[in-house]
A and B are shown apart, each in its own frame.
Chain A
Amino acid sequence: MSTVDWKNYQPVLLPDIKDLYKIDIYTKNGGYEALKSILTDKKKWDGPKAVIEEVKNANIRGRGGAGFNAGLKWSFMPPADGGPRYLACNGDESEPGTFKDRKIFEYNPHVFIEGALIAAYAMEVTTIYVYIRGEYKSYIDMMEKAISDAYKKGFIGKNIFKSDFSVDFYVHSGAGAYICGEETSMLESLEGKRGYPRVKPPFPAQKGLWGRPTTINNIETLAHVPNVINKGADWFKAIGAENHPGPILYGISGHVNNPGVYELPSGIPVLDLIEVAGGMKNGKKLKAVIPGGSSTPILRADQLDGISMDSDSLRTVGSMLGTAGMVIMDEDTDIVDVLWRIAHFYHHESCGQCTPCREGTGWLEKILLKIKNGEGEVRDLDLLLDLTTQMEGRTICALADAAAWPVRFTINRFRDEFEARCTKKSHAVA
């Protein structure tokens, strides 16, 4: 049972301050103080390593889906050698159910910019790119403006706060490809190529953009950094779930009355979160929840008692926090249709480099379409499950796994509904 005190929580990442997106309002509310502190307060911050230590202690687990400790990732960058080094900020945000980073671009772009600048200082990065999905044209425009304002104020550019730290910061627009959210695909796209994920190793910290050391972080991950610097790692760790601490931007969609993005502590009980979002629409009963984006295993309503939104708790029922983009489904939802649509998505987005993924996603979609149309047989379900095991862990990137999990877990957890659909035809024929 979670004891997270979320009822009295006040947002700190996206606080309720009018016009906070404007740089003057942001600085009036303490903005860029964290950057100033690490660059000028040498007593408090004994160089880049001290910043990495603080962030590592805070245990900001990557908000892009994989949940890796941000400070620890930063520490993997090799020692600076005088050449270029990069930070690539991931604003591709394309996993179905996920729509949170755009709220940062819109409401508080400077907290992200400041976080990225602090990360750049900590890793001795020379250029920052923020990669934003091309569909977010409105947010790309907003970010261009915010970055240009920060340049004008001297927060980006040469000798920031008269220190010897200099860095450039650019926006790079995508052009429609979910796969470019995968970090090495994003690097290819930044280099002006098709977004084919790279084989790892070498890892980006060794060989990233143009063969140089590069770190990739999600927008929300970086946006948490200024608060960690200002208030300390212990403050961050005291919020929410012990092993997955801090505030989280929960994106809630589907059959609830007030869908939207909510900033709340990690570890909030799933059922409470549904209440926060206004409860079930039209007084319907809850059927299922996808907790963190379309690739995270679906949970039946009867699995959710006492389960909270943190990786440990979700693991006990066989799911994951992912991007914390939670999709709520009511009793009328046709699970077979839903799974077919998810399979269609991954098939459409597979880059086609690896045979198990290219062929596998195609077969998953094809068989599910057959079942959806009432033309499937029960043994098709086992064929689907078999296919998922042939796709998993055999490919260059994790898209194949992301496509396989929903199929496996949705069939396992709603097998009766799939079987009901499969026998339809044989009854009709008989």
Chain B
Amino acid sequence: MAYEFTKEDLKEIENIKAKYPEVMPATLPTLWVAQRRFGHVEPEVQRLVAATLGLPEAHVHGVANFYTQYYKVKKGKHVLDVCTCLSCQLCGGYDILHHLEDKLGIKAGETTEDGTFTLNQVECLGACGYAPMLQVTNDRYVNHLTKEKVDNLIEKLKNGEELEYEQIKMPQHKNI
């Protein structure tokens, strides 16, 4: 399959380039545009990014490989990144991970056969006070997880529901 950016993508990439004095800094944001468009940045997509920016393929490849959020291989439709780092570890992050492994019938790092879910174990996502938690496909955080909440989440995602941003009040705030 030949990958191509849409006109809107190309316009967005032009806007991105305008933020910087050189082209190279547009590498990370353009990889993001590509991943949102195609769902991954496999080598073919990396080549498209390189050609679009006029940068060496080796450079784009090196950058894509350095950063964990870029999907260098195709993932499931929904990627569940479960934090098991420090505070999540203390608050049951591994229980959540194992529950998901049992529920989905896969191990961390794997994708379900039907391609719906990829399960990962990840490092600290900066939600330590709301542990245990996970992130869905580089976007929404789902906090204060229990097994029930995880089960609900899986149902929601299977039904194609959008996830809301979970606002968590500051404990000192009453008005917000």
> What's the dominant secondary structure at chain B's contact region?
loop
B interface footprint on A80-115 (CB within 8 Å = 1, 0 otherwise): 000010000000011111110011001100000000
Contacting residues of chain B (120-174) with chain A, CB-CB under 8 angstroms: 123-131, 135, 138-141, 165, 167-168, 170-174
How many chain B residues touch the partner (CB < 8 A)? 51
With a cutoff of 8 Å between Cβ atoms, the chain A residues found around residue B129 in the complex are: 99, 251-253, 259-261
Given A96-B87, A345-B123, A349-B123; A135-B128 close (CB under 8 Å): no
| Measured CA separation A293–B122 after assembly (Å) | 17
Is the beta-carbon distance between A175 and B128 smaller than 8 angstroms? no
Q: Does B45 sit at the interface, judged by CB under 8 A?
A: no
| Measured CA separation A253–B131 after assembly (Å) | 8
Given A97-B128, A261-B170; A173-B32 close (CB under 8 Å): yes
From the candidates A170, A253, A255, name the one contacting B19 in the complex (CB within 8 A). A170
When C-beta atoms are compared, the residue in chain B nearest to A135 turns out to be B125
B interface footprint on A191-206 (CB within 8 Å = 1, 0 otherwise): 1111100000000000
Q: In the complex, what's the smallest C-beta–C-beta distance from A167 to chain B, in angstroms?
A: 13
Is the beta-carbon distance between B66 and A177 smaller than 8 angstroms? yes
Report, as a range, how many residues of chain A touch the other chain: 35 or more
Given A96-B128, A192-B25; A341-B84 close (CB under 8 Å): yes
When C-beta atoms are compared, the residue in chain B nearest to A137 turns out to be B139
With a cutoff of 8 Å between Cβ atoms, the chain B residues found around residue A294 in the complex are: 86, 124
When C-beta atoms are compared, the residue in chain B nearest to A175 turns out to be B67
| Measured CA separation A325–B124 after assembly (Å) | 13
Q: In the complex, what's the smallest C-beta–C-beta distance from B131 to chain A, in angstroms?
A: 6
| Measured CA separation A266–B135 after assembly (Å) | 32
Is the beta-carbon distance between A135 and B69 smaller than 8 angstroms? yes
Q: Does A27 sit at the interface, judged by CB under 8 A?
A: no
Is the beta-carbon distance between B28 and A135 smaller than 8 angstroms? no
Q: Does B85 sit at the interface, judged by CB under 8 A?
A: yes
When C-beta atoms are compared, the residue in chain B nearest to A180 turns out to be B67
Q: Does B22 sit at the interface, judged by CB under 8 A?
A: yes
Q: Does B29 sit at the interface, judged by CB under 8 A?
A: yes
Is the beta-carbon distance between B165 and A138 smaller than 8 angstroms? yes
| Measured CA separation A178–B62 after assembly (Å) | 17
From the candidates B27, B86, B170, B175, name the one contacting A97 in the complex (CB within 8 A). B86
B interface footprint on A272-299 (CB within 8 Å = 1, 0 otherwise): 0000010000000000001000100000
Given A16-B172, A170-B19; A338-B86 close (CB under 8 Å): yes
Is the beta-carbon distance between A194 and B126 smaller than 8 angstroms? no
Q: Does A18 sit at the interface, judged by CB under 8 A?
A: yes
Q: Does A14 sit at the interface, judged by CB under 8 A?
A: yes
Is the beta-carbon distance between A345 and B172 smaller than 8 angstroms? no
Is the beta-carbon distance between A103 and B170 smaller than 8 angstroms? yes
Q: In the complex, what's the smallest C-beta–C-beta distance from B50 to chain A, in angstroms?
A: 12
With a cutoff of 8 Å between Cβ atoms, the chain A residues found around residue B176 in the complex are: 16-20, 107
Q: Does A223 sit at the interface, judged by CB under 8 A?
A: no
B interface footprint on A133-150 (CB within 8 Å = 1, 0 otherwise): 111111000000000000
With a cutoff of 8 Å between Cβ atoms, the chain B residues found around residue A97 in the complex are: 86-87, 124, 128
From the candidates A99, A138, A191, A193, name the one contacting B128 in the complex (CB within 8 A). A99
Is the beta-carbon distance between B173 and A98 smaller than 8 angstroms? no
Contacting residues of chain A (171-224) with chain B, CB-CB under 8 angstroms: 172-178, 189-195, 210
With a cutoff of 8 Å between Cβ atoms, the chain A residues found around residue B96 in the complex are: none
Q: Does B54 sit at the interface, judged by CB under 8 A?
A: no
Is the beta-carbon distance between A253 and B139 smaller than 8 angstroms? no
Is the beta-carbon distance between A262 and B171 smaller than 8 angstroms? yes
Q: Does B70 sit at the interface, judged by CB under 8 A?
A: yes
With a cutoff of 8 Å between Cβ atoms, the chain B residues found around residue A254 in the complex are: 87, 90-91, 128
Q: Does B63 sit at the interface, judged by CB under 8 A?
A: yes
When C-beta atoms are compared, the residue in chain B nearest to A333 turns out to be B90
Is the beta-carbon distance between A192 and B63 smaller than 8 angstroms? yes
Is the beta-carbon distance between B19 and A338 smaller than 8 angstroms? no
Q: Does B24 sit at the interface, judged by CB under 8 A?
A: yes
A interface footprint on B81-124 (CB within 8 Å = 1, 0 otherwise): 00011110111000000000000000000000000000000011
Q: In the complex, what's the smallest C-beta–C-beta distance from B20 to chain A, in angstroms?
A: 8
Q: Does A258 sit at the interface, judged by CB under 8 A?
A: yes
| Measured CA separation A107–B172 after assembly (Å) | 13
Q: Does B48 sit at the interface, judged by CB under 8 A?
A: no
With a cutoff of 8 Å between Cβ atoms, the chain A residues found around residue B69 in the complex are: 134-135, 174-176
Q: In the complex, what's the smallest C-beta–C-beta distance from A369 to chain B, in angstroms?
A: 14
Given A134-B138, A260-B168; A342-B86 close (CB under 8 Å): yes
Q: In the complex, what's the smallest C-beta–C-beta distance from A312 to chain B, in angstroms?
A: 25
B interface footprint on A6-41 (CB within 8 Å = 1, 0 otherwise): 000001001011111000000000000000000000
With a cutoff of 8 Å between Cβ atoms, the chain A residues found around residue B32 in the complex are: 134, 173, 175
| Measured CA separation A71–B93 after assembly (Å) | 40
- Which of the listed residues B87, B141, B172 has the most CB atoms from chain A within 10 Å of its own CB? B87
Is the beta-carbon distance between B28 and A192 smaller than 8 angstroms? yes
With a cutoff of 8 Å between Cβ atoms, the chain B residues found around residue A16 in the complex are: 170, 172-176
Give me the 4 closest cross-chain CB pairs, A-B, nearest first. Answer: A176-B69, A175-B67, A176-B68, A253-B128
- 6 more CB-based (< 8 A) A-B contacts, given A99-B130, A137-B139, A259-B87: A18-B176, A97-B128, A190-B25, A191-B22, A255-B90, A349-B123
The 7 listed contacts between A and B (C-beta, < 8 Å) are A18-B176, A97-B87, A135-B138, A172-B19, A193-B62, A252-B129, A327-B86
